[in-house]
Amino acid sequence: MFRHFPSGVAALCSTVDGEPEGIVSSTFTVGVSFDPPLVMFAVQNSSRTWPLIRDSSRIGVSVLAADQADICRQIAAKSGDRFAGVRLTTAPSGAAFLDDAGLWLDCSVETETPAGDHAVVLLRVHEHCTRDNSHDPLIFHASGFRSLQMSSVA
């Protein structure tokens, strides 16, 4: 039933022992709180990558653009070099951001709450960078990637 609700896709990445680590999430939500600025996402309890980045001082959230579906699949892969050929910008904080993403958020973990077979993670936003408006977001719906299309409403 959840696949019938469209959502944006974000990559959450950090530098761990000098190497990029990251996960992708279609459960990412902005605007949880404005004061303090909080965003959230849900992560599977079985994730092998989340434990690697959870304790990072900062985590970079990159809201993926419509043309980044292949990068999303690559980072979500269970094996191989998930960052091979991926252009990244690393902040002095250690947060790692995917180049050409529509929005960057430099975050730290605020809280993590068990929620069934997932955990709900609140992230505090410390810095942000919005990209130009030419980057339409990547949309995940019905187990596939979609993009926005403008239509006229009569």
Query: pLDDT tens digit string along 5-24?
Result: 556 788 999 999 989 999 99
Q: Over pLDDT 90: what percentage of the chain?
A: 53
Residue 35 is predicted with a pLDDT of 92
Sequence-distant (6+) residues with CB within 8 A of 76 are 23, 24, 82
Structure confidence at residue 66 (pLDDT): 83
Tell whether 34 is covered by a domain: yes
What pLDDT does 134 receive? Answer: 62
Give Cβ neighbours of residue 152 (< 8 Å, ≥ 6 apart): none
What's at 124, amino acid-wise? R
CATH number of the domain enclosing 98 = 2.30.110.10
13 within some domain: yes
So what's the pLDDT on residue 2? 61
| CA–CA gap between residue 23 and residue 11 (Å, rounded) | 6
Residue 121 lies in a domain: yes
The answer to whether residue 135 sits within a structural domain is yes
152 belongs to a structural domain: no
Per the structure, the count of domains in the chain is: 1
Q: Residue 53 above 90 pLDDT?
A: yes
Residue 58 has φ and ψ, to the nearest 5°, of -140, 145
* Host domain of residue 102: 2-146
pLDDT in tens, 54-92: 999 999 999 888 888 889 889 988 888 899 999 999 999
Could you tell me if residue 61 is inside a domain? yes
Place of tokens 């949309």: 139
Radius of gyration (Cα) for the chain, nearest Å?
15
The answer to the question of residue 153 being in a domain is no
The tens digit of pLDDT for each residue in 121-137 reads: 999 999 888 776 666 77
Cα distance between residue 115 and residue 38, in whole Å: 18
Identify whether 151 is part of a domain: no
